[in-house]
Amino acid sequence: MLEAAESPVIYCALATELFTVFGVDQVHVTRVSQDHSVGRGNGYRMGEGGVPEPGPEYMHHFEEMSAVRLVMDTGEPFNEPDARHSSAMDRRLTERFDVSSALFVPVGCGGDVRAVVGLISETPRTFDDEEVQLVYTLANQASAALAVLEMSTRLSARAEQQTALARAARTLNARLDLTSVLDTLCREANLSLAGDVAGVYLGDAESGGVAVAADGIEGSWHGTVMRAGEGVAGQVLVSGRPVITNAYKEEVRIPSSAALSAVETAVAVPVRWSGELKGALSVGFHSMRAISDEDMGTLEAMADLAAVACSNAEAFDHVQVQARTDSLTGLLNHGALQVRLIEEIARVRRTGGALCCLLLDLDDFKPINDQHGHLVGDQVL
C-alpha cells in the first residue's frame, strides 16, 4: 500500500483488505474537505475477481451531527451495532445503503483526518474490541501510505512551482503585450498547481470581473463576465481575500458556463496594484484536493506577477498617450499629427478617395495672453 501512486488506489487497497478480513457487505470511504464542511463518499462492494467496485459518489454535509462527523471531530473509531435506531447515524444514508450495523474509523495524515472509512453490515453485527483495533491498524497503514504520497507530491510540486515561477518571470521581462503575458501567467499557475482550469479576471466589487486570460477552458472565454460574488474569483473581488472551496457546486454561486461545471475544488487570490484591488487569479480542479500553504504561496506570487504586468501595461499606455498628445488640450501634438497625416494620405492613395484638412484659428488670442497672462490663456484653450 505504501507504494501506491494515487489516493484512490490507497483507498481501494484498504477496502480490499477490509472485505477480505471482515467479510462485510460494503466499505464506504468519505474523503473530508479541507475545511471539514463536506465529504465526498464512495461505497464499495466486492466485485468479480475479488476487486472492490466503487459506486456513484455522494455528498455528505456536516452541518448536523453524524457518525462520520463524530469520527472526523474526535479522531476516534465509532462502533454502532444498531444503526437503524441510532441518533448518531445519518438516517438518509442509512436507508439508502441498507445499513444495519457499522464501524467507522479515521484515516489521518499530518495530524488531520483526511477520510473516514465505514464498514457496513446489512445484517445485525457487533464488532468486538479486537476487530475495532484491527480496522484501526489497517486504516493507519492507509494513513502512512497517504503521508508518503503527500510528501512525494509536495516535493515534486515544489520543484514544479519554482520552475513555473521562473518561466513566468522570464515572460514578464521579455514581453510588453499584456494579453500574451497574462495568458502565460495563467497557464503557468495552472501547471504549477496541477489544476484543470485557470483564469485571470480584472474588475471590482461593484461591476464584477471580466476574463482577460484563461487556460484549460475550450472556446472563447476572454470577455466572459464573472459577476461580483460569483465563482471564487467573484468572491475575491467582493472580499479582497483568498478563497478556497472543496465543494464548488454546493458552496459557490456558479456562473452559467459549462466550462466550470466539472470543478469540485477551486482557489482564487486577489490581484492588486497601485494599492487597489483590481482583479483575481483562480485555479479549479475536477476532483477534491487540499490546497497547501505552498500552493497558496505560488498562486499569490503568480498574482503579484500578473499585477506587475497590468501595472506596466497601464504605465506604457500612459506614456504612449503622453508622447502623442498635447498635455494642455489632449489633442494630437505636432509629431503625432504629422504621422496621422502621412497615414491618411497613404490611405486615400490606396482607396482612391478624397482627403480634406480643416484648419481652426482663434482670432485675437494674443491680446488675451498679453492682458491677462498665460494662465488665463491656457484656460481659454
96 domain-assigned = yes
Adjacent-strand bridge partners of 202: 210, 279
59 domain-assigned = yes
Judgement on whether residues 68 and 131 belong to the same structural domain of the protein:
yes
Residue bearing the bigger pLDDT, 161 or 315: 161
Judgement on whether residues 297 and 349 belong to the same structural domain of the protein:
no
Number of domains making up the chain: 3
Task: Please state, in angstroms and rounded to a whole number, the distance separating the CA atoms of residues 320 and 342.
Answer: 19
Judgement on whether residues 306 and 335 belong to the same structural domain of the protein:
no
pLDDT at 103: 96
Q: H or E element: which one contains 144?
A: helix 129-174
55 domain-assigned = yes
Percent of the residues in the chain that have a pLDDT greater than 90, as a whole number: 41
Backbone angles phi, psi at 212, to 5 degrees: -115, -10
Quote the DSSP letter at residue 328: T
166 domain-assigned = no
360 domain-assigned = yes
Task: Please state, in angstroms and rounded to a whole number, the distance separating the CA atoms of residues 26 and 46.
Answer: 8
Average pLDDT over every residue of 84-88 = 92
Judgement on whether residues 148 and 190 belong to the same structural domain of the protein:
no
Residue 2 has pLDDT above 60, yes or no: no
Per-residue burial over 322-334, b = 16 or more CB atoms within 10 Å of its CB, e = otherwise: eeeeeeeeeeeee
pTM for the model stands at 0.67
Judgement on whether residues 106 and 56 belong to the same structural domain of the protein:
yes
Adjacent-strand bridge partners of 118: 28, 104
Reported in sequence order, the residue ranges of the chain that DSSP labels E, i.e. its strands, are: 26-32, 38-46, 52-54, 58-61, 78-80, 101-109, 112-121, 197-204, 208-215, 225-226, 243-245, 265-273, 276-285
Reported in sequence order, the residue ranges of 122-178 that DSSP labels E, i.e. its strands, are: none
Question: DSSP characters for 48-63?
Answer: GGG-EEE---EEEE-S
Quote the DSSP letter at residue 259: G
Judgement on whether residues 338 and 294 belong to the same structural domain of the protein:
no
Task: Single out the residue in 301, 322, 343 at which a domain terminates.
Answer: 322
Q: What is the pLDDT of residues 102-143, one digit of tens each?
A: 999 999 877 789 999 999 999 999 999 999 999 999 999 888
Judgement on whether residues 338 and 291 belong to the same structural domain of the protein:
no
CB of 103 closer than 8 Å to CB of 127: yes
Judgement on whether residues 208 and 291 belong to the same structural domain of the protein:
yes
Judgement on whether residues 138 and 30 belong to the same structural domain of the protein:
yes
Please give the biggest Cα pair distance in the chain.
107
CATH number at residue 73: 3.30.450.40
Average pLDDT over every residue of 334-338 = 63
* Domain, as residue range, for 352: 328-380
Judgement on whether residues 241 and 111 belong to the same structural domain of the protein:
no
168 domain-assigned = no
> For 79-83, 96-100, 144-148, 308-312, which range has the lowest pLDDT when averaged over its residues?
308-312
Task: Please state, in angstroms and rounded to a whole number, the distance separating the CA atoms of residues 8 and 219.
Answer: 31
Task: Single out the residue in 303, 322, 341 at which a domain terminates.
Answer: 322
Task: Please state, in angstroms and rounded to a whole number, the distance separating the CA atoms of residues 331 and 246.
Answer: 53
Q: Alpha carbon 239 to chain centroid distance?
A: 16
164 domain-assigned = no
Backbone angles phi, psi at 131, to 5 degrees: -65, -40
Judgement on whether residues 183 and 97 belong to the same structural domain of the protein:
no
Task: Single out the residue in 277, 303, 322 at which a domain terminates.
Answer: 322
254 domain-assigned = yes
Residues 6+ apart with CB under 8 A from 268: 231, 232, 233, 235, 236, 242, 243, 280, 281, 282, 283
338 pLDDT tier (thresholds 50, 70, 90): low
Judgement on whether residues 375 and 308 belong to the same structural domain of the protein:
no
